[in-house]
């Protein structure tokens, strides 16, 4: 009996036969996440509690088979892809909200809890969970912790790490530790902060203590419509320069507008070059004053119109269009490669112009979606992987965009992580000495490279080879050249 067969038999004794997946046709569902990367795992296991996770980790360690933790599979950097095979440990069955403490404004949840379900459960107490990725209706808190996810409202409220108090973690030897606490104050090393954003390479998170916020007294949402994206970019700079920090400033270009409107009917004018979705929240008087000032600033840049959401239904519809735009891009092309980079806000127009040049050079349309307030760009390169050569062209265009972001004084990722997608570009930002220092974290946690190996740090393998190798093998030689 080989190691894999032995491991599968042992895992079935822990979680039951139903929750161990190992036939090729069933494994296909787990070969990819939301990125362009693909690789088939050797097996998938779905534990239901921390004890089972710890037992599975010990079994994998005994058989020297690496573990790749996975949430809902909505990640956008290949972080949950089993490069080189291995055991995918899916945490979607661990989806309980264990406690909501309304007095202390915190909750304890399992990693498989869907992001938006936490806010829905906290709503009866007048509370909510602030980080709201665009995949909020599907992504899980555990995945948000792994990638340090952001979202439209991170401009004012920060990303995931700003809302995590502590966590229970299973380490690579199967032992269980609690990092951090149930309060914001904690003495000693900030191991909680190290674990957030570590992309599953240091431990497997099995419980999470999160900070909840009180729902604001007042919320107002504006839609500012512009003929040109340069006008919208200038309006963003004007708002921030005025000392106003809204809860969110989102920008969509004409490609995104057309796709979202066709799919959602959010009321976006399809002849616009760009729109800004601006949200202000807080005390009623403060919100009224800031909304008026934002309107005045936007007026300086010749908007086609400025529209206010007059009801909760209006507001939800505007946001439905924004959060549904990536799915809506499927109306325009069967595939998209979503790039995630962050730049100084002052470089918005310069970088967007550069992205336009890259689109022309590649011959592929690029849809621009931005968390504009904090300079987090999400250009989506639209392509068709069935056309020989287009996948490589799309990935090459994405590489140029990332280099453009770094050259402008920005960084490789705002919220999606490094994973497989960006590992070969790490030297754009970090020296070898920097990466050597960072790589010492894994030995400090004694991971033995068992947890999500081959991620984050450069391996010397071009991204296009990582992404498409297994797919070429199934589809036929030359299909993805």
What is the per-residue pLDDT for 459? Answer: 79
Instruction: Evaluate if residue 347 carries a pLDDT over 70.
Output: yes
In a domain, 114, yes or no: yes
Total count of domains within the chain: 4
Instruction: Evaluate if residue 142 carries a pLDDT over 90.
Output: yes
Structure tokens at 109: 């949840």
In a domain, 480, yes or no: no
Residues 137 and 76 grouped into a single domain? no
What is the per-residue pLDDT for 24? Answer: 93
Q: What is the CATH number of the domain that holds 7?
A: 3.30.43.10
Residues 432 and 333 grouped into a single domain? yes
In a domain, 481, yes or no: no
What is the per-residue pLDDT for 480? Answer: 26
- Band of residue 463 on the pLDDT scale cut at 50, 70, 90: low
In a domain, 417, yes or no: yes
Residues 78 and 198 grouped into a single domain? no
Residues 243 and 255 grouped into a single domain? yes
- Band of residue 195 on the pLDDT scale cut at 50, 70, 90: very high
What percent of the chain stands above pLDDT 90? 85
In a domain, 466, yes or no: yes
Instruction: Evaluate if residue 469 carries a pLDDT over 50.
Output: no
SS3 of the chain: CCHHHHHHHHHHHHHCHHHEECCHHHHHHHCECCCCCECCCCEEECCCCHHHHHHHHHHHHHCCCCEEEECCCCCCCCCCCCCCCCEEEECCCCCCEEEEECCCCEEEECCCCEHHHHHHHHHHHCEECCCCCCCCCCCEHHHHHHHCCCCCCHHHHCCHHHHEEEEEEECCCCCEEEEECCCCCCCCCCHHHHHCCCCCCCCEEEEEEEECEECCCEEEEEEEEECCHHHHHHHHHHHHHCCCCCCEEEEEEHHHHHHHHHHHCCCCCCCCCEEEEEEEEECHHHHHHHHHHHHHHHHCCCCCEEEECCCHHHHHHHHHHHHCHHHHHHHCCCEEEECCEECCHHHHHHHHHHHHHHHHHHCCCEEEEEEHHHCEEEEEEEECCCCCCHHHHHHHHHHHHHHHHHHCCCECCCCCCCCCCCHHHHHHCCCHHHHHHHHCHHHHCCCCCCECCCCCCCCCCCHHHHHHHHHHHHHCCCCCC
Residues 352 and 380 grouped into a single domain? yes
Q: What is the CATH number of the domain that holds 352?
A: 3.30.70.2740
Residues 179 and 226 grouped into a single domain? no
Which of 181, 172, 204 has the alpha carbon at shortest distance from 50?
204
What is the per-residue pLDDT for 36? Answer: 80
State pLDDT tens for residues 42-101: 999 999 999 999 999 999 999 999 999 999 999 999 999 999 999 999 999 999 999 999
Residues 71 and 120 grouped into a single domain? no
Dihedral of the alpha carbons of 195, 201, 202, 203, in degrees to the nearest 10 = 90
Report pTM. 0.91
Instruction: Evaluate if residue 418 carries a pLDDT over 70.
Output: yes
Query: Would the CA dihedral through 102, 103, 104, 105 be positive or negative?
Result: positive
Residues 123 and 79 grouped into a single domain? no
Residues 334 and 471 grouped into a single domain? yes
> Which of 328, 346, 368 is the last residue in one of the domains?
328
Residues 204 and 251 grouped into a single domain? no
> Which of 191, 214, 237 is the last residue in one of the domains?
214
Q: What is the CATH number of the domain that holds 134?
A: 3.30.465.10
In a domain, 168, yes or no: yes
- Band of residue 188 on the pLDDT scale cut at 50, 70, 90: confident
Domain span at residue 132 reads 97-214
State pLDDT tens for residues 93-125: 999 999 999 999 999 999 999 999 999 999 999
How far, in Å, CA of 228 to CA of 253, rounded?
A: 9
> Which of 269, 297, 328 is the last residue in one of the domains?
328
- Residues 21-42, mean pLDDT to the nearest whole number: 92
Residues 229 and 320 grouped into a single domain? yes
Residues 104 and 79 grouped into a single domain? no
State pLDDT tens for residues 378-398: 999 999 999 999 999 999 999
């Amino acid at each position: 009996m080989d190691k894999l067969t032995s491991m599968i038999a042992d895992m079935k004794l822990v979680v039951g036969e139903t929750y161990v997946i190992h036939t090729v046709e069933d494994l296909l569902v787990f070969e990819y996440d939301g990125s362009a990367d693909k690789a088939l795992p050797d097996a998938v296991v779905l534990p239901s509690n921390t004890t089972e996770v710890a037992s599975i980790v010990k079994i994998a360690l005994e058989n020297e088979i690496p573990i790749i933790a996975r949430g809902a599979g909505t990640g956008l950097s290949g972080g949950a892809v089993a490069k080189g095979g291995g055991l995918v440990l899916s945490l979607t069955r661990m989806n309980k909200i264990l406690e909501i403490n309304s007095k202390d404004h915190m909750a304890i949840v399992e990693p498989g809890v869907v992001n938006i379900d936490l806010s829905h459960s906290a709503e009866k107490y007048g509370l909510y969970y602030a980080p709201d990725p665009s995949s909020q209706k599907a992504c899980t808190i555990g995945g948000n912790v792994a990638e340090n996810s952001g979202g439209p409202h991170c401009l004012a409220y920060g990303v995931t790490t700003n809302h995590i108090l502590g966590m229970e973690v299973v380490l690579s030897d199967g032992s269980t530790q609690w990092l951090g606490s149930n309060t914001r104050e904690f003495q000693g090393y900030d191991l909680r902060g190290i674990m957030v954003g570590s992309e599953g390479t240091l431990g497997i998170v099995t419980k999470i203590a999160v900070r909840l916020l009180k729902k604001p007294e007042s919320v107002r949402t504006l839609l500012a419509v512009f003929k040109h994206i340069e006008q919208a970019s200038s309006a963003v700079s004007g708002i921030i320069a005025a000392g106003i920090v809204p809860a969110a400033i989102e920008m969509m270009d004409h490609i995104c507008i057309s796709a979202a409107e066709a799919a959602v009917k959010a009321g976006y004018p399809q002849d616009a070059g760009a729109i800004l979705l601006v949200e202000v929240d807080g005390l009623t008087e403060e919100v009224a004053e800031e909304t008026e000032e934002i309107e005045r600033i936007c007026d300086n840049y010749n908007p086609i119109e400025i529209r206010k959401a007059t009801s909760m239904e209006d507001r939800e519809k505007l946001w439905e269009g924004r959060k549904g735009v990536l799915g809506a891009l499927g109306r325009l092309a069967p595939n998209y490669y979503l790039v995630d980079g962050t730049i100084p806000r002052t470089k918005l127009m310069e970088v967007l112009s550069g992205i336009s040049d890259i689109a022309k050079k590649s011959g592929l349309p690029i849809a621009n979606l931005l968390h504009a307030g904090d300079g987090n760009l999400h250009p989506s390169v639209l392509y068709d992987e069935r056309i020989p050569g287009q996948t490589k062209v799309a990935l090459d265009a994405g590489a140029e965009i990332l280099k453009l972001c770094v050259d402008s004084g920005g960084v490789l990722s705002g919220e999606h992580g490094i994973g497989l997608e960006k590992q070969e570009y790490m030297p754009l930002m970090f020296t070898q000495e920097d990466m050597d220092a960072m790589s010492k974290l894994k030995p400090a946690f004694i991971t033995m490279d068992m947890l999500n190996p081959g991620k984050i740090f450069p391996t010397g393998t071009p991204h296009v080879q990582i992404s498409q190798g297994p797919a070429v093998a199934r589809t036929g030689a030359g299909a993805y050249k």
